[in-house]
Structure 1
Amino acid sequence: MAVKESSASKIKFKGVDALFGLSEEQECVREIPLDELDTFKNHPFKVFRDDKMEEMIESISEYGVLVPGIARPSNSGEKDYELVVGHRRKYACRELGLKTMPVIIRDMSDDEATVVMVDSNIQRENLLYSEKAFAYRMKYEALKRQGRRTDLTLVQVEPKLKKRWAAEMVGTEVGETMSTIKRYIRLTYLSNYLLEFVDKNELPFTVAVDLSYLKSNEQSLLLAFIGTTKKMPNGSQAKKLKELSQQKELTGEDIEKILRGEAKVNYQKISFSEKQLQKYFPPDYKKEQIEKIIFQLLDSWKAQTEQRG
């Protein structure tokens, strides 16, 4: 289904070569020792030996590395270069016992390197939810920071609009809606263990998004319940957990009641009309003043009740 063109697609964004001030004539491929290529910091894409990797190893064994990686000079002091694009190729070369791989060296800022790294990997097939989530978040954060640059004409834009622009830009470039991008980014607030359930398709994406709003200690309690009962929350239960977490600190008992489908733990909603309260307060009292007095009286009543009990 075609994605509706968003306002972000109308923004003129510099191409990679223009952004880096490079032309094809200036680029040269160098054979760099694998031991001198550090992994890109917080690289979100997993590298392991699956069927696709077997195909790559076979191809490199027969034809060599046909497409060079991209690296930048390292600031860590431990290795000479930081690999931006080509981590799977590096893995394949090491598996074949090769000592070097062809690499293009470019000077890039952190944000520029992040955008290149994500764009070079995001269209791969069968990416995990976690890979997309962290990749989208990294690019979103990079574009949001680049929005402060005067050459992108966004220096005067309000922070809220910068966030919207960045989310729209990420969505436009990967064929997703802005709301979908935001939901993926929410997954990065899940604990690693819960996110692993999502990657294994044991926890539905939409359910996981609601659970991402739980505090870290609440997620730990939920994980303990899942480990004991082998029971995953469904959509309505996840929404209840999210709503209750926003009202109070979730306890293990709260989680168990909701996931076992027992009595609701949501508080009853009690409301009073303005007419009911008029005789208790002066006519010039504002809503905030009335609420403050009501809660003070309730606190006093609760303290007296506990003392008698």
Structure 2
Amino acid sequence: MNKTGSATKVKLNSFDDLFGIEQPQSGIEQVQEIALTELHGFKEHPFKVLDDEKMQEMIESIREYGVLMPGIARPMKGGGYEIIAGHRRKYACEMVGLSTMPMFIRDYTDDEATIIMVDSNIQREDILPSEKSKAYRMKYDAMKHQGSKAGGLTLGELGEAAGESAKTVQRYIWISRLADELLDMVDTKKIGIIQAVDLSFLSEDAQQWVLAVIQETNVIITTQQSAMLKESDKKGELTLPMVRMLLEKEKTVERKVIIKAERINSYFPVTYSRKEIENIIYQLLDNWKNNQ
């Protein structure tokens, strides 16, 4: 069976329905086999192409069946094509040893290309917080730039493709302002999302101070600490020594000691109340402490 020949007869209806893309006037568009050397990554592409288990599954699928879903690209002014959707498929094709990849070539504007690029990736289950935050920021900027052409913009509409609430989208857009090193810590769960939102309001210098202290002490920032950092920086009071003091502050360690009833009963008559037993124990402990 000629995989390339069959691919050129693909109808766009199901593909466009998947990504919410308008169909060309003819209703049918030819798939083109484009040399991998002519395909270039999307500018500031926020999604990482990882050689993980899912990538290996894609490689094996392409090796056996070929590329079943063509990618999308647009012509570049200097020659070649900019990939809008299909970065992972291109990598898999390279690993298989193919020299070309089936693509839909469309002349999208920068804003249109950005929105399609984000929507074609944002629904994946394995998206990292750093990827999602940068992607939502790019889509937000593109939709805002479109202005009246987009019919207005709400955060709810922004997250609709991924089924996320306006509040969640807002949080991700906020943390896109974090330094890359801090975003990496959010990815590895070294910093929680709520704490990351607080830190995203810090100045660039303050973020670097926080990063330095985390790297020095390996501290885990609490919501209380992140809130204090945010408030101090808002007032213009935050300094590196203050960051160190806030993050290195000793936490109270909660300790729970259980004494079995039968052990207690061996020391006190049954006529003693619980309060009387506690008072005697505290008195004995005070005496022991004073004699140390």
What TM bracket, shorter-length normalisation? 0.7 to 0.9
Q: 8 Å contact 2:123–2:161 — kept in the other structure?
A: no
Once the two structures are TM-superposed, the CA of residue 22 in structure 1 deviates from its matched residue by 4.4
SS in 2 for 1:82: strand
Letter in 2 for 1:16: I
Work out which of the two has the higher radius of gyration on C-alpha atoms and give 1 or 2.
2
Once the two structures are TM-superposed, the CA of residue 23 in structure 1 deviates from its matched residue by 4.4
- 2:117 matched residue in structure 1: 117
Which segments of 5 or more consecutive residues in structure 1 lack a partner in the other structure?
1-14, 155-161, 263-309
Partner Cα separation in structure 2 for residue 186 and residue 114 of structure 1: 19
- 1:169 matched residue in structure 2: 157
- 1:16 matched residue in structure 2: 21
Deviations 1:115-138 (A, max 9, x none): 111111111111100111111111
Q: 8 Å contact 1:206–1:235 — kept in the other structure?
A: yes
TM-score of the pair, normalised by structure 1: 0.72
SS in 2 for 1:17: coil
Which of 1 and 2 has higher RCO (CA within 8 Å, sep 6+)? 1
Q: How does 1:179-218 map to 2 (within 5 A)?
A: 179-218=167-206
- 1:130 matched residue in structure 2: 130
Letter in 2 for 1:131: E
- 2:226 matched residue in structure 1: 238
TM-score of the pair, normalised by structure 2: 0.76
Assess, with a 3 A threshold, how the Cα gap between structure 1 residues 250 and 22 changes in structure 2: closer, same or farther.
Answer: farther
- 2:15 matched residue in structure 1: none
- 1:59 matched residue in structure 2: 61
SS in 2 for 1:255: helix
Partner Cα separation in structure 2 for residue 239 and residue 90 of structure 1: 43
Partner Cα separation in structure 2 for residue 206 and residue 257 of structure 1: 21
Once the two structures are TM-superposed, the CA of residue 201 in structure 1 deviates from its matched residue by 1.2
SS in 2 for 1:83: strand
Once the two structures are TM-superposed, the CA of residue 177 in structure 1 deviates from its matched residue by 1.6
Displacement over 6 Å in runs of 4+ = none
Once the two structures are TM-superposed, the CA of residue 223 in structure 1 deviates from its matched residue by 0.9
Which segments of 5 or more consecutive residues in structure 2 lack a partner in the other structure?
1-19, 251-292
| Percent identity between the two aligned chains | 50
Q: 8 Å contact 1:17–1:23 — kept in the other structure?
A: no
After superposition, the CA RMSD in angstroms is 1.7
2:74 matches 1:87: no
Q: Number of aligned residue pairs: give it.
A: 232
Assess, with a 3 A threshold, how the Cα gap between structure 1 residues 143 and 22 changes in structure 2: closer, same or farther.
Answer: farther
